[in-house]
C-alpha cells in the first residue's frame, strides 16, 4: 500500500496522483478502503488508453484478492477471482481442463477490466468478454456485497455487464468456460485487395480470423486460429519480430517520409507460418512496442469499406502512421453499453507509435468511423461527449438510473466518467 502515489497507464498517456494505491487481500480489507474513501477507482492492468482509472482518490488493485475457482457442475461456467490477469486465469483454467471461449490480442488484462470495457477477440459468432460474464459478486459503495445475474438483481446485472467500473468493485465473476482446446495459428501475407474480397469466406471458414494492414503496404498479414485435436509441441512466437518493428517505428518517428517504403519492405520480411498449442497460449501476442490506439466498432456490413476509406484518407494526406490497422469481426450482443448491441460488428483499430503525434491524428480520423455508423471501444481513444453517448446508446439512461440507485454519491466516478455520463449534471 502506498500513499500519494504516482500512477500511469500502459502507454504512459494517462497519469494520475491517487491519494492512495492499495492492493487488498481480502474482501474485509477491501470494504475498509471502500467505506473510508470519498472517491474510489479500481485498476486492473491499466491497459486502457482512456482515463478510466485516473483518480485523485483511492486506487485499488485486486490482483492479490484471491479466492477459489469454482467450476459449475455442468462445466459451462466457473466463479473466478475478478482481479486475476487473463494470463493467470487461463493457465489455472487449463490446469482444470477448461478454456475461455475467446480471448483478445494480449493477456495481462484483469478479467474485471476486460469485461468492464467490452474487450474482445475475433470470431464470426464470438462476442466480447463482457458476454462471457454470467454473474458478478460486487462490493457496493457502502462496503456491502451483492451478487447479480439474470436471476438475482437482473437490472444491476444488465448494467454491470459492461460498467466501466461505475457501479462497484467486482470481486468475483462467473464466466462462461468450455472444455480445454488447442488451436492452430496460421499467418500469411495476402494482397490487400484479395484480403478485402476474401475476408468473409476466411472468417467463416475459421473460428477466428483477423488481419493487420500497414497503411502504405499493398499486402496484409492475415492471421487465422482454428481448433485442432492434436497440438504437438508449442512454439513461442519470435521475439525478433518486435525488435525489427520497434526499429522501423523509430525510423518512422525520425523521418516520417520513409513510412511508405519502410512498410513495404517490412512486409517482405513476413513469412508464412504455422504453429499449434493450447488455446490460452496461442491467443495472446507480445506487445512490447508502445502505442496509442483508437478502435471503432462498425456495423459488420460497413467494416471493410470503412477500413479502405480510412487507409485512403491516410495515404492521401501522406500521414506518418507507423502502426498497422487491425481488422476483426465480433458477434452481436444485447448489453446496454456495448458497441456491439446493434448487430454483428467489425472492429477497426487504428494505432500510432507512442513516440509520435497521435492525439490530433486519431481525432482527425474519427469522423470517418462515426460517419459510417461506428461506436468506439470504451477503453481506447475517442472524443465522445456526453451528448454523443446518450445519442449512440439508447440504454445509457437506464444504465445511469441503476448507477444512481447503487452509488448516489458517485463514489466510483472519476472526472472522465462524470463528464461522459453527465453524472450530477
Ligand atoms: C497492448 C494492448 C492490447 C490490447 N488488446 C485488446 C484486444 O485485443 N481487444 C480489446 O477489446 N481490447 C484490447 N485492449 C484494451 C484492453 O483490453 C482494455 O483496456 C481492458 O479494459 C484492459 O484491462 P485492464 O485490466 O488493464 O483494465 P484497466 O484499464 O485497469 O481498467 C479498465 C476498467 O475496468 C475497471 N475495473 C477494473 N477492475 C475492476 C474491478 N475489479 N471492479 C470494477 N471495475 C474494475 C476500471 O475501473 C476501468 O474502468 C488492449 C490494450 C492494450 C494496451
Residue closest via CA to ligand 1's atom 32 equals 113
15 Cα: distance to centroid of ligand 1 (angstroms): 16
131 Cα: distance to centroid of ligand 1 (angstroms): 15
Mean pLDDT of 206-229: 97
The pLDDT tens digits of the residues spanning 8-26 come to 999 999 999 999 999 999 9
Taking Cα atoms as reference points, which of 252, 250, 272 lies closest to residue 262?
252
Report the pLDDT value the prediction gives residue 316, as an integer from 0 to 100. 97
Mean pLDDT of 284-291: 94
Residue owning grid cell 520497434? 246
Same domain, 252 and 355: yes
Half-sphere exposure (Cβ direction) of 176: Cα atoms closer than 13 Å: 13
Mean pLDDT of 343-371: 98
Residue 311: all three cell numbers together: 487507409
Domain that holds residue 31: 2-61
Report the pLDDT value the prediction gives residue 241, as an integer from 0 to 100. 78
Q: Last residue of some domain: 352, 376, 400?
A: 376
Indicate if ligand 1 lies below 6 Å from the C-beta of 117.
Answer: yes
Question: Quick one: which H or E segment has residue 223?
Answer: strand 219-228
Residue closest via CA to ligand 1's atom 5 equals 105
**H helices within 81-153, ranges in order?**
86-95, 111-117
| Confidence band, pLDDT 50/70/90 cuts, at residue 368 | very high
Partners of 60 in beta bridges: 22, 42
CA 242 to CA 264: how far, in whole Å?
A: 17
Residue closest via CA to ligand 1's atom 44 equals 165
359-371 vs 303-316: helix crossing angle, rounded to 10? 140
Q: What is the pTM of this model?
A: 0.97
Whether 90 is covered by a domain: the verdict is yes
169 Cα: distance to centroid of ligand 1 (angstroms): 14
Whether 416 is covered by a domain: the verdict is no
CA 415 to CA 417: how far, in whole Å?
A: 6
Same domain, 96 and 198: no
Whether 259 is covered by a domain: the verdict is yes
| 274 SS3 class | strand
Report the pLDDT value the prediction gives residue 277, as an integer from 0 to 100. 94
303-316 vs 192-205: helix crossing angle, rounded to 10? 150
317 Cα: distance to centroid of ligand 1 (angstroms): 32
pLDDT, averaged across the chain:
96
The pLDDT tens digits of the residues spanning 154-202 come to 999 999 999 999 999 999 999 999 999 999 999 999 999 999 999 999 9
Whether 400 is covered by a domain: the verdict is no
The pLDDT tens digits of the residues spanning 385-403 come to 999 999 999 999 999 999 9
Whether 74 is covered by a domain: the verdict is yes
Report the pLDDT value the prediction gives residue 28, as an integer from 0 to 100. 98
Same domain, 91 and 44: no
Report the pLDDT value the prediction gives residue 290, as an integer from 0 to 100. 96
The pLDDT tens digits of the residues spanning 316-342 come to 999 999 999 999 999 999 999 999 999
Indicate if ligand 1 lies below 6 Å from the C-beta of 86.
Answer: no
Whether 422 is covered by a domain: the verdict is no
| Confidence band, pLDDT 50/70/90 cuts, at residue 254 | very high
Same domain, 167 and 197: no
Same domain, 238 and 121: no
pLDDT of 1 strictly over 80: no
* Tally of domains in the chain: 3
Mean pLDDT of 263-277: 93
**Is the Cβ–Cβ distance between 57 and 141 less than 8 Å?**
no
Residue among 18, 23, 44 whose CB has most ligand 1 atoms within 8 A, to mutate: 44
Q: For residue 328, with 0-12 CB atoms within 10 Å meaning exposed, 13-18 middle and 19 or more buried, which class applies? A: buried
pLDDT of 233 strictly over 80: no
Q: Last residue of some domain: 153, 179, 205?
A: 179
268 Cα: distance to centroid of ligand 1 (angstroms): 33
* Inter-CA distances, 108 with 72, 183, 219, Å: 25, 20, 30
49 Cα: distance to centroid of ligand 1 (angstroms): 9
Same domain, 56 and 76: no
Cα-based torsion angle of the residue sequence 366, 114, 12, 323 in order, rounded to the nearest 10 degrees:
-50
Instruction: Label the pairing between strands 58-61 and 20-22.
Output: parallel
Residue 414: all three cell numbers together: 472519476
% of the chain with per-residue pLDDT over 90: 94
CA 207 to CA 229: how far, in whole Å?
A: 14
Q: For residue 408, with 0-12 CB atoms within 10 Å meaning exposed, 13-18 middle and 19 or more buried, which class applies? A: exposed
Mean pLDDT of 203-214: 98
Q: What is the CA radius of gyration of the chain?
A: 21
Same domain, 83 and 145: yes
Mean pLDDT of 259-272: 93
Report the pLDDT value the prediction gives residue 351, as an integer from 0 to 100. 98
Same domain, 319 and 347: yes
Partners of 173 in beta bridges: 80, 136
Q: Last residue of some domain: 129, 158, 179?
A: 179
Amino acid at each position: 500500500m502506498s500513499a500519494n502515489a504516482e500512477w500511469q497507464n500502459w502507454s504512459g498517456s494517462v497519469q494520475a496522483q491517487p491519494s492512495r494505491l492499495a492492493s487488498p487481500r481480502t474482501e474485509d480489507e477491501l470494504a475498509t478502503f471502500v467505506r473510508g474513501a470519498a472517491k474510489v477507482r479500481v485498476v486492473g492492468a491499466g491497459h486502457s488508453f482512456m482515463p478510466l482509472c485516473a483518480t485523485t482518490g483511492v486506487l485499488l488493485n485486486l490482483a492479490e484478492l484471491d479466492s477459489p475457482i469454482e467450476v459449475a457442475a455442468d462445466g459451462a461456467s466457473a466463479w473466478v477471482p475478478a482481479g486475476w490477469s487473463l494470463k493467470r486465469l487461463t493457465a489455472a483454467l487449463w490446469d482444470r481442463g477448461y478454456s475461455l471461449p475467446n480471448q483478445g490480442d494480449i493477456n495481462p488484462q484483469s478479467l474485471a477490466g476486460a469485461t468492464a470495457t467490452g474487450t474482445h477477440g475475433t470470431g464470426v459468432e464470438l462476442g466480447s468478454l463482457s458476454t462471457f460474464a454470467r454473474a458478478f459478486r460486487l462490493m457496493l459503495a457502502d462496503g456491502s456485497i451483492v451478487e447479480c445475474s439474470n436471476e438475482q438483481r437482473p437490472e444491476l446485472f444488465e448494467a454491470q455487464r459492461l460498467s466501466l467500473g461505475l457501479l462497484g468493485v467486482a470481486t468475483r465473476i462467473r464466466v462462461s468456460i468450455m472444455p480445454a482446446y488447442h488451436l492452430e495459428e496460421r499467418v500469411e501475407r495476402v494482397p490487400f485487395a484479395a484480403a478485402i474480397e476474401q475476408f468473409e469466406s476466411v472468417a467463416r471458414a475459421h473460428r477466428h480470423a483477423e488481419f493487420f494492414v500497414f497503411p502504405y503496404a499493398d499486402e496484409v498479414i492475415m492471421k487465422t486460429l482454428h481448433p485442432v485435436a492434436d497440438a504437438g509441441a508449442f512454439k513461442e512466437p519470435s521475439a525478433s519480430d518486435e525488435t525489427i518493428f520497434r526499429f522501423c517505428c523509430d525510423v518512422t518517428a525520425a523521418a516520417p517520409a520513409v513510412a511508405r517504403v519502410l512498410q513495404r519492405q517490412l512486409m517482405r520480411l513476413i513469412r508464412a507460418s504455422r504453429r499449434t498449442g493450447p488455446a490460452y497460449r496461442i491467443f495472446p501476442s507480445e506487445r512490447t512496442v508502445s502505442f496509442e490506439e483508437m478502435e471503432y466498432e462498425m456495423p459488420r456490413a460497413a467494416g471493410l469499406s470503412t477500413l479502405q476509406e480510412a487507409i485512403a484518407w491516410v495515404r492521401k494526406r501522406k500521414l506518418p502512421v507507423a502502426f498497422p490497422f487491425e481488422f476483426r469481426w465480433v458477434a452481436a450482443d444485447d448489453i446496454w453499453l456495448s458497441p456491439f448491441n446493434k448487430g454483428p460488428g467489425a472492429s477497426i483499430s487504428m494505432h500510432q507509435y507512442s513516440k509520435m503525434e497521435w492525439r490530433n491524428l486519431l481525432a482527425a480520423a474519427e469522423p470517418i468511423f462515426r460517419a459510417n455508423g461506428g461506436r468506439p471501444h470504451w477503453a481506447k481513444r475517442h472524443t465522445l461527449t456526453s451528448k454523443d453517448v446518450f445519442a449512440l446508446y439508447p440504454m445509457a439512461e437506464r444504465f445511469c438510473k441503476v448507477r444512481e440507485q447503487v452509488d448516489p454519491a458517485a463514489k466510483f466516478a472519476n472526472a472522465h466518467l462524470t463528464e461522459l455520463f453527465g453524472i450530477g449534471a
